[in-house]
C-alpha cells in the first residue's frame, strides 16, 4: 500500500505542476461498484463481453446486443461517482484550462461528477449513434426500447461505443496527444496498462519530460516506467493528493 511519504511526494509534485493530464481506467469505476464487464465480471447469460461488443455481433443479432447494453445501463444507473471522481472535478476547477482528463470508461460517471474537460476515448454508454445518418445523441431511457431507431432518419441506432476491432476516433486521439505533449505531470489512475493506445500514453508523456504518477491496486506493465507508483484504491488515494 502507498506510504505517507509517497503520498506527500505525489501531493508536492501535483501542487507544483503547471499542466496536468489524467488517464482513468476501470479501477476508478470499480470503486463505485461498476463491474468491468470483462473477465469474471463479464459473463451475461452465456455470453462474454468480447463476444457481444463487436460490429459483427451487432450485425448478426442487434437485439441481443441491445439487450446486453440495456442490462448494463440498468446496472450503471444505480451507481454514483466516488471521492476519486469528485477530486478530479476539483482539480479541473483548480487548473481551469490546464488540465485534461482522458478516460477509458464508458459509464459516464466522470460527467455525472461534473468533469467537463475530458475525452471519453471508448465512448459513452449513455450516447447512441445512428447507423444511417451518423448523428450522435444522448439517451438515458431505461429500459431503452428494443430495437431503438433514429428520430431523424428511422435507421437503427447503436451504442456510441468503440467496440473490439474498431479504431478510436481521430479527433479523440488528436486531443489526447495534445494533452499528453503539453503536460508536465501525467496521472494514471486505475488502468491495467494493457489496452492500447492508452497503454502507450505514459511513454508519450515521458518523451516530453513529464513526471508520471500511477495509482493502482496492483503493479502494471507501466509500473517500471513511471516515476511514482502508489498502491491502493482510487477512492482512497486520489483525494489525498489535494
Residue 240 CB contacts under 8 Å (≥ 6 apart), including other chains: 7, 11
Res. 39: pLDDT tops 80: no
- The per-residue pLDDT for 188 is 97
Quick check: is 160 catalytic?
no
pLDDT band at 48 (very low <50, low <70, confident <90, very high): confident
The average confidence (pLDDT) of the chain is 94
Domains observed in the chain: 4-33+81-122+168-241 (3.40.50.1220), 35-78+123-161 (3.30.1600.10)
Q: How far apart are CA 26 and CA 98, in angstroms?
A: 24
pLDDT digits (tens, 9 = 90+) for 160-212: 999 999 999 999 999 999 999 999 999 999 998 888 899 899 999 999 999 99
Q: In DSSP terms, which residues pair with 31 in a beta bridge?
A: none
pLDDT tens digits, 16-35: 999 999 999 999 999 999 98
Among residues 190, 182, 194, the alpha carbon closest in space to that of 233 is found at 190
Query: How far, in Å, CA of 150 to CA of 173, rounded?
Result: 27
Q: What mean pLDDT do residues 140-163 have?
A: 96
13, 85, 110, 122: which one is catalytic?
122
**Three-state SS annotation for the chain:** CCCHHHHHHHHHHHHHCCCEEEEECHHHHHCCCCCCCCHHHHCECCECHHHHCCHHHHHHCHHHHHHHHHHHHHHHCCCCCCHHHHHHHHHHHHHHHHEEEEECCCCCHHHHHCCCCEEECCEEEEEEEECCCCCEEECCCCCCCCCCECCCCCCEEEEEECCCCCCCCHHHHHHHHHHHHHCCEEEEECCCCCCCCHHHHHHHHHHCCCEEEEEECCCCCCCCCCCEEEECCHHHHHHHHC
Read off the pTM: 0.94
Amino acid at each position: 500500500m502507498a506510504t505517507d511519504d509517497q503520498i506527500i511526494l505525489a501531493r508536492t509534485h501535483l501542487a507544483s505542476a503547471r499542466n496536468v493530464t489524467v488517464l482513468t481506467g476501470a479501477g476508478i469505476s470499480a470503486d463505485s461498484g461498476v463491474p468491468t464487464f470483462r473477465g469474471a465480471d463479464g459473463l451475461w447469460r452465456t455470453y462474454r463481453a468480447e463476444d457481444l461488443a463487436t460490429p459483427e455481433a451487432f450485425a448478426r443479432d442487434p437485439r441481443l446486443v441491445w439487450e446486453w447494453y440495456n442490462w448494463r445501463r440498468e446496472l450503471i444507473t444505480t451507481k454514483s461517482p466516488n471521492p476519486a471522481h469528485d477530486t478530479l472535478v476539483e482539480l479541473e476547477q483548480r487548473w481551469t484550462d490546464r488540465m485534461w482528463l482522458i478516460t477509458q470508461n464508458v459509464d459516464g460517471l466522470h460527467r455525472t461528477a461534473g468533469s467537463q474537460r475530458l475525452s471519453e476515448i471508448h465512448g459513452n454508454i449513455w450516447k447512441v449513434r445512428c447507423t444511417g445518418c451518423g448523428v450522435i445523441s444522448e439517451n438515458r431511457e431505461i429500459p431503452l426500447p428494443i430495437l431503438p431507431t433514429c428520430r431523424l432518419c428511422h435507421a437503427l441506432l447503436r451504442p456510441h461505443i468503440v467496440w473490439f476491432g474498431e479504431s478510436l476516433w481521430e479527433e479523440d486521439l488528436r486531443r489526447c496527444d495534445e494533452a499528453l505533449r503539453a503536460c508536465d505531470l501525467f496521472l494514471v489512475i486505475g488502468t491495467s496498462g494493457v489496452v492500447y493506445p492508452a497503454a502507450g500514453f505514459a511513454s508519450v508523456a515521458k518523451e516530453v519530460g513529464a513526471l508520471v504518477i500511477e495509482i493502482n491496486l496492483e503493479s502494471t506493465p507501466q509500473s517500471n516506467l513511471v516515476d511514482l507508483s502508489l498502491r491502493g484504491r482510487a477512492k482512497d488515494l486520489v483525494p489525498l493528493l489535494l
